[in-house]
Chains A and B, each alone.
Chain A
Amino acid sequence: MTPEAGGVDAVIDAVTAVFLVLGALMSLTATIGLLRFPDLMSRMHAATKPQVLGLFLLLAAIGLQMRQWWVWPVLVVAWIFQLLTVPVSAHMVGRAGYRTKHLHPELLSVDELEAVVRRSAAEQEGSGTGPASAAGPAEDPELDDVLGLGEAGDGALRGAAGQNLDDRGDGRGDQGEGKG
Protein backbone atom coordinates (compact mmCIF):
# COMPACT_ATOMS: atom_id res chain seq x y z
CA MET A 1 0.00 0.00 0.00
CA THR A 2 3.04 2.23 0.24
CA PRO A 3 3.88 4.17 -2.92
CA GLU A 4 7.00 2.04 -3.42
CA ALA A 5 5.00 -1.17 -3.27
CA GLY A 6 2.55 0.27 -5.78
CA GLY A 7 5.45 1.13 -8.07
CA VAL A 8 6.89 -2.34 -7.81
CA ASP A 9 3.49 -3.84 -8.55
CA ALA A 10 3.16 -1.68 -11.64
CA VAL A 11 6.59 -2.75 -12.85
CA ILE A 12 5.79 -6.42 -12.25
CA ASP A 13 2.49 -6.04 -14.08
CA ALA A 14 4.22 -4.37 -17.00
CA VAL A 15 6.87 -7.11 -17.19
CA THR A 16 4.11 -9.72 -17.00
CA ALA A 17 2.24 -8.06 -19.84
CA VAL A 18 5.37 -8.01 -22.00
CA PHE A 19 6.07 -11.67 -21.22
CA LEU A 20 2.50 -12.68 -22.03
CA VAL A 21 2.45 -10.89 -25.35
CA LEU A 22 5.90 -12.21 -26.31
CA GLY A 23 4.89 -15.73 -25.27
CA ALA A 24 1.80 -15.55 -27.45
CA LEU A 25 3.90 -14.18 -30.32
CA MET A 26 6.16 -17.22 -30.02
CA SER A 27 3.20 -19.45 -30.82
CA LEU A 28 2.47 -17.25 -33.81
CA THR A 29 6.12 -17.56 -34.86
CA ALA A 30 5.84 -21.32 -34.81
CA THR A 31 2.81 -21.10 -37.04
CA ILE A 32 4.43 -18.67 -39.46
CA GLY A 33 7.37 -21.03 -39.69
CA LEU A 34 5.04 -23.96 -40.29
CA LEU A 35 3.33 -22.13 -43.12
CA ARG A 36 6.35 -20.52 -44.74
CA PHE A 37 9.10 -23.11 -44.66
CA PRO A 38 9.37 -25.40 -47.66
CA ASP A 39 10.04 -28.81 -46.20
CA LEU A 40 9.36 -30.91 -43.14
CA MET A 41 12.77 -30.51 -41.55
CA SER A 42 12.83 -26.73 -41.51
CA ARG A 43 9.24 -26.73 -40.29
CA MET A 44 10.44 -28.85 -37.43
CA HIS A 45 12.86 -26.15 -36.37
CA ALA A 46 9.96 -23.72 -36.39
CA ALA A 47 7.69 -26.01 -34.42
CA THR A 48 10.08 -26.82 -31.60
CA LYS A 49 12.23 -23.82 -30.77
CA PRO A 50 9.70 -21.01 -30.27
CA GLN A 51 7.51 -23.29 -28.15
CA VAL A 52 10.26 -23.71 -25.56
CA LEU A 53 10.86 -19.99 -25.22
CA GLY A 54 7.13 -19.25 -25.34
CA LEU A 55 6.35 -21.62 -22.49
CA PHE A 56 9.26 -20.18 -20.52
CA LEU A 57 7.91 -16.65 -20.86
CA LEU A 58 4.34 -17.65 -19.99
CA LEU A 59 5.43 -19.66 -16.96
CA ALA A 60 7.55 -16.75 -15.80
CA ALA A 61 4.50 -14.50 -16.15
CA ILE A 62 2.44 -16.87 -13.99
CA GLY A 63 5.22 -16.92 -11.41
CA LEU A 64 5.37 -13.12 -11.35
CA GLN A 65 1.64 -12.73 -10.93
CA MET A 66 1.17 -15.36 -8.24
CA ARG A 67 3.17 -14.09 -5.29
CA GLN A 68 3.48 -17.49 -3.69
CA TRP A 69 6.85 -19.13 -3.47
CA TRP A 70 5.59 -22.68 -3.98
CA VAL A 71 4.49 -21.90 -7.52
CA TRP A 72 8.06 -21.59 -8.73
CA PRO A 73 9.10 -25.24 -8.20
CA VAL A 74 6.06 -26.41 -10.17
CA LEU A 75 6.87 -24.01 -12.99
CA VAL A 76 10.51 -25.08 -13.07
CA VAL A 77 9.49 -28.74 -13.13
CA ALA A 78 7.07 -28.06 -15.98
CA TRP A 79 9.73 -26.28 -18.02
CA ILE A 80 12.35 -28.96 -17.41
CA PHE A 81 9.85 -31.59 -18.53
CA GLN A 82 9.41 -29.63 -21.72
CA LEU A 83 13.15 -29.28 -22.23
CA LEU A 84 13.47 -33.05 -21.91
CA THR A 85 10.56 -34.03 -24.13
CA VAL A 86 10.69 -31.53 -26.99
CA PRO A 87 14.02 -32.72 -28.48
CA VAL A 88 12.83 -36.32 -28.26
CA SER A 89 9.71 -35.77 -30.32
CA ALA A 90 11.56 -33.49 -32.74
CA HIS A 91 14.24 -36.11 -33.24
CA MET A 92 11.74 -38.91 -33.76
CA VAL A 93 9.71 -36.93 -36.28
CA GLY A 94 12.84 -35.75 -38.04
CA ARG A 95 14.28 -39.23 -38.27
CA ALA A 96 11.03 -40.62 -39.64
CA GLY A 97 10.93 -37.71 -42.06
CA TYR A 98 14.43 -38.36 -43.32
CA ARG A 99 13.82 -42.09 -43.76
CA THR A 100 10.59 -41.64 -45.63
CA LYS A 101 12.26 -39.20 -48.04
CA HIS A 102 10.32 -36.18 -46.91
CA LEU A 103 13.48 -34.23 -47.36
CA HIS A 104 13.79 -32.27 -50.56
CA PRO A 105 17.36 -32.87 -51.73
CA GLU A 106 17.32 -29.74 -53.83
CA LEU A 107 16.93 -27.69 -50.64
CA LEU A 108 20.05 -29.13 -49.08
CA SER A 109 23.48 -27.67 -49.67
CA VAL A 110 25.30 -30.47 -47.86
CA ASP A 111 23.97 -33.93 -47.06
CA GLU A 112 26.50 -36.16 -45.39
CA LEU A 113 23.98 -38.67 -44.11
CA GLU A 114 22.84 -39.64 -47.58
CA ALA A 115 26.20 -41.13 -48.50
CA VAL A 116 26.19 -43.21 -45.32
CA VAL A 117 22.66 -44.44 -45.95
CA ARG A 118 23.48 -45.35 -49.53
CA ARG A 119 26.67 -47.14 -48.52
CA SER A 120 24.87 -49.13 -45.83
CA ALA A 121 22.07 -49.99 -48.26
CA ALA A 122 24.63 -51.20 -50.80
CA GLU A 123 26.35 -53.32 -48.18
CA GLN A 124 23.05 -54.79 -47.17
CA GLU A 125 22.26 -55.70 -50.74
CA GLY A 126 25.69 -57.21 -51.17
CA SER A 127 25.50 -59.37 -48.06
CA GLY A 128 21.77 -59.96 -48.27
CA THR A 129 22.13 -62.88 -50.69
CA GLY A 130 23.06 -65.23 -47.85
CA PRO A 131 20.35 -67.41 -46.32
CA ALA A 132 18.01 -65.59 -43.92
CA SER A 133 20.52 -62.85 -43.26
CA ALA A 134 18.38 -60.30 -45.02
CA ALA A 135 15.18 -60.85 -43.11
CA GLY A 136 16.59 -61.41 -39.63
CA PRO A 137 18.67 -58.29 -39.02
CA ALA A 138 16.08 -56.08 -40.62
CA GLU A 139 13.52 -57.07 -38.02
CA ASP A 140 15.43 -57.29 -34.78
CA PRO A 141 16.82 -53.78 -34.34
CA GLU A 142 13.41 -52.41 -35.12
CA LEU A 143 11.99 -54.41 -32.20
CA ASP A 144 14.82 -53.39 -29.90
CA ASP A 145 14.21 -49.83 -30.78
CA VAL A 146 10.57 -50.00 -29.80
CA LEU A 147 11.57 -51.45 -26.46
CA GLY A 148 14.26 -48.84 -26.09
CA LEU A 149 11.63 -46.15 -26.31
CA GLY A 150 10.04 -47.32 -23.12
CA GLU A 151 13.13 -46.78 -21.01
CA ALA A 152 12.94 -43.11 -20.29
CA GLY A 153 12.71 -39.78 -21.98
CA ASP A 154 16.38 -39.96 -22.77
CA GLY A 155 16.03 -43.54 -23.86
CA ALA A 156 14.31 -42.53 -27.06
CA LEU A 157 17.32 -40.68 -28.29
CA ARG A 158 19.62 -43.42 -27.12
CA GLY A 159 17.48 -46.29 -28.40
CA ALA A 160 17.30 -44.59 -31.74
CA ALA A 161 21.03 -44.88 -32.14
CA GLY A 162 22.45 -46.94 -34.90
CA GLN A 163 19.19 -48.34 -36.11
CA ASN A 164 19.54 -47.08 -39.60
CA LEU A 165 23.18 -47.93 -39.65
CA ASP A 166 22.87 -51.22 -37.86
CA ASP A 167 24.63 -53.19 -40.51
CA ARG A 168 27.73 -51.09 -40.05
CA GLY A 169 29.79 -51.80 -37.00
CA ASP A 170 28.35 -53.16 -33.79
CA GLY A 171 25.35 -50.92 -33.40
CA ARG A 172 23.04 -53.87 -32.97
CA GLY A 173 25.14 -55.48 -30.27
CA ASP A 174 25.22 -52.24 -28.35
CA GLN A 175 21.52 -51.89 -28.45
CA GLY A 176 20.90 -55.19 -26.77
CA GLU A 177 22.91 -54.35 -23.71
CA GLY A 178 21.85 -51.93 -21.08
CA LYS A 179 18.33 -53.18 -20.85
CA GLY A 180 19.36 -55.64 -18.16
Chain B
Amino acid sequence: MKDAVLIITAVVLTLAAAGAIVRIAVGPSLLDRVLASDVLLGIVGAALAIDMAVNRHLNNLFLLVALTLIGFIGSVTVARFVSDRRGQANDS
Protein backbone atom coordinates (compact mmCIF):
# COMPACT_ATOMS: atom_id res chain seq x y z
CA MET B 1 0.00 0.00 0.00
CA LYS B 2 2.92 2.27 0.77
CA ASP B 3 4.16 2.01 -2.81
CA ALA B 4 0.69 2.53 -4.23
CA VAL B 5 0.22 5.72 -2.20
CA LEU B 6 3.64 6.96 -3.24
CA ILE B 7 2.93 6.34 -6.92
CA ILE B 8 -0.53 7.91 -6.84
CA THR B 9 0.60 11.02 -4.99
CA ALA B 10 3.68 11.34 -7.20
CA VAL B 11 1.56 11.25 -10.34
CA VAL B 12 -0.99 13.69 -8.94
CA LEU B 13 1.64 16.14 -7.73
CA THR B 14 3.53 15.92 -11.01
CA LEU B 15 0.36 16.79 -12.92
CA ALA B 16 -0.35 19.61 -10.51
CA ALA B 17 3.17 21.00 -10.82
CA ALA B 18 3.00 20.75 -14.60
CA GLY B 19 -0.25 22.70 -14.63
CA ALA B 20 1.17 25.36 -12.36
CA ILE B 21 4.21 25.70 -14.59
CA VAL B 22 1.95 26.03 -17.62
CA ARG B 23 0.14 28.86 -15.87
CA ILE B 24 3.48 30.48 -15.03
CA ALA B 25 4.49 30.27 -18.68
CA VAL B 26 1.15 31.31 -20.17
CA GLY B 27 -0.18 33.60 -17.44
CA PRO B 28 -1.28 36.80 -19.13
CA SER B 29 -0.13 39.01 -16.28
CA LEU B 30 2.57 39.11 -13.66
CA LEU B 31 0.05 38.53 -10.88
CA ASP B 32 -1.13 35.30 -12.51
CA ARG B 33 2.44 34.09 -12.54
CA VAL B 34 2.97 35.04 -8.92
CA LEU B 35 -0.18 33.17 -7.96
CA ALA B 36 0.91 30.11 -9.90
CA SER B 37 4.36 30.14 -8.32
CA ASP B 38 2.69 30.32 -4.93
CA VAL B 39 0.78 27.18 -5.85
CA LEU B 40 4.03 25.59 -7.02
CA LEU B 41 5.59 26.34 -3.64
CA GLY B 42 2.60 24.69 -2.01
CA ILE B 43 3.12 21.62 -4.18
CA VAL B 44 6.78 21.41 -3.13
CA GLY B 45 5.64 21.64 0.50
CA ALA B 46 3.10 18.90 -0.13
CA ALA B 47 5.80 16.68 -1.63
CA LEU B 48 8.00 17.22 1.43
CA ALA B 49 5.11 16.35 3.73
CA ILE B 50 4.18 13.22 1.81
CA ASP B 51 7.79 12.04 1.85
CA MET B 52 7.90 12.51 5.61
CA ALA B 53 4.62 10.71 6.23
CA VAL B 54 5.40 7.73 3.98
CA ASN B 55 8.99 7.20 5.05
CA ARG B 56 8.35 8.13 8.67
CA HIS B 57 11.03 10.68 9.25
CA LEU B 58 10.90 14.32 10.27
CA ASN B 59 13.97 15.74 8.58
CA ASN B 60 12.02 18.34 6.66
CA LEU B 61 9.46 19.27 9.28
CA PHE B 62 11.02 22.60 10.15
CA LEU B 63 11.62 23.42 6.53
CA LEU B 64 7.86 22.97 6.11
CA VAL B 65 7.15 25.26 9.08
CA ALA B 66 9.43 27.89 7.59
CA LEU B 67 7.72 27.52 4.20
CA THR B 68 4.29 28.13 5.65
CA LEU B 69 5.58 31.08 7.65
CA ILE B 70 7.52 33.02 5.04
CA GLY B 71 6.19 31.63 1.79
CA PHE B 72 3.69 34.46 1.45
CA ILE B 73 6.25 37.27 1.61
CA GLY B 74 7.25 36.87 -2.03
CA SER B 75 3.76 37.27 -3.43
CA VAL B 76 2.99 40.18 -1.09
CA THR B 77 6.14 41.95 -2.25
CA VAL B 78 5.32 41.46 -5.91
CA ALA B 79 1.72 42.56 -5.33
CA ARG B 80 2.93 45.79 -3.79
CA PHE B 81 5.41 46.37 -6.58
CA VAL B 82 2.76 45.86 -9.24
CA SER B 83 0.25 48.20 -7.66
CA ASP B 84 2.90 50.87 -7.15
CA ARG B 85 4.09 50.82 -10.72
CA ARG B 86 0.64 50.89 -12.22
CA GLY B 87 -0.44 53.63 -9.85
CA GLN B 88 2.38 55.89 -10.97
CA ALA B 89 1.73 55.11 -14.60
CA ASN B 90 -1.89 56.15 -14.16
CA ASP B 91 -1.00 59.34 -12.37
CA SER B 92 1.47 60.59 -14.94
A93 touches B16 (CB 8 A): no
The CA-CA distance from A99 to B39 in the complex, in Å, is 22
Main secondary structure of the interface of B (DSSP, over half): helix
B89 to A, closest residue via Cβ: A100
| B residues less than 8 Å from A26 (CB atoms) | 46
Interface centre among B23, B43, B46, B61 (most CB of A within 10 A): B46
| B residues less than 8 Å from A61 (CB atoms) | 49-50, 53
Q: Kindly state the interface size class of chain A when it binds its partner.
A: 35 or more
Bits for B15-43, please: 1 = Cβ < 8 Å to A, else 0: 11111101100000101101110110011
Bits for A4-39, please: 1 = Cβ < 8 Å to B, else 0: 000000000110110011011111101110110000
Please report the number of residue pairs spanning A and B whose Cβ atoms sit closer than 8 angstroms: 166
A138 touches B91 (CB 8 A): yes
B68 touches A78 (CB 8 A): yes
The CA-CA distance from A85 to B74 in the complex, in Å, is 12
Within 8 A of B (CB), among A93-111: 93, 95-97, 99-100, 102
- 11 additional A-B pairs beyond A40-B29, A102-B29, beta carbons within 8 Å, are A16-B53, A21-B12, A23-B9, A24-B12, A31-B43, A34-B19, A55-B49, A61-B53, A78-B61, A86-B72, A95-B79
A-B pairs, 8 with minimum CB distance = A31-B19, A89-B72, A58-B49, A92-B79, A85-B72, A96-B79, A24-B9, A96-B83
Interface residues of B (CB under 8 A from A): 1, 4-5, 8-9, 12-13, 15-20, 22-23, 29, 31-32, 34-36, 38-39, 42-43, 45-46, 49-50, 52-54, 56, 58, 61-62, 64-65, 68-69, 71-72, 75-76, 78-80, 82-84, 86-87, 91
